[in-house]
Amino acid sequence: MSDDAIKDALKMMPYGFYAVTSRNSDDVNAMVANWITQISFEPRLVAFGLQKSAYTRSVIENGRVFTINLFAKDDREKMMSFTKGRSRNPDKMKEAQYTEAPKTRCPVLDGAAAFVEFEVTDIVDPGGDHDIVIGKPVGAVILKPGDASQTLTLPDIGWSYAG
């Protein structure tokens, strides 16, 4: 615990841990993220808090598509090569193993348990260091059937991106 109760409480919120892939023309990228949640049933919409300085930000702004890759808890190692940003690891996609999602052609990372493809409906700047990317799901494939209790989460790896 710190002397900042807001920070400590925000860190107590449990999140999923995902890989977000994106495509703009021939350029593809993958990053890890946890600030992702469904925000509407009808129409179905999902919001993703995306750092303004992330390479993915410009890929999504120009390409207007992204894909959320979900992993099973046992496959956590398969996401670890995507924890570094493109500027620190310019070759991360050259070394990555992936196929193409059918609707958006965003990368589907090897080992993913499922993926959901999105078209971007909006990118909102709420005035902070992250923008809110809103996506409408246009396709999904389950590769390893399971339920939410088997999906990799941030508490599973003991990391935090909150506060």
Ligand X SMILES: Cc1cc2nc3c(=O)[nH]c(=O)nc-3n(C[C@H](O)[C@H](O)[C@H](O)COP(=O)(O)O)c2cc1C
161 binds ligand X (CB under 6 A): yes
Out of 130, 137, 143, 156, which residue is the one contacting ligand X (CB under 6 A)?
130
* Contact code string over 16-45 relative to ligand X, x by CB under 6 A: -------------x-xxxxx----------
Smallest CA-to-CA distance from 77 within 30, 110, 48, 41 is with 110
Out of 54, 65, 68, 108, which residue is the one contacting ligand X (CB under 6 A)?
54
Q: How far is the CB of 65 from ligand X (least distance, A)?
A: 15
86 binds ligand X (CB under 6 A): yes
- Write the Ramachandran bin of 119: left for phi over 0, alpha for psi from -120 to 50, otherwise beta: beta
Residues 152 and 17: beta-carbon distance below 8 Å: yes
Which H helix or E strand runs over 59? helix 55-63
Smallest CA-to-CA distance from 96 within 87, 104, 113, 108 is with 108
Binding site for ligand X (CB under 6 A): 29, 31-35, 49-51, 54-56, 83, 85-86, 130, 154, 159, 161
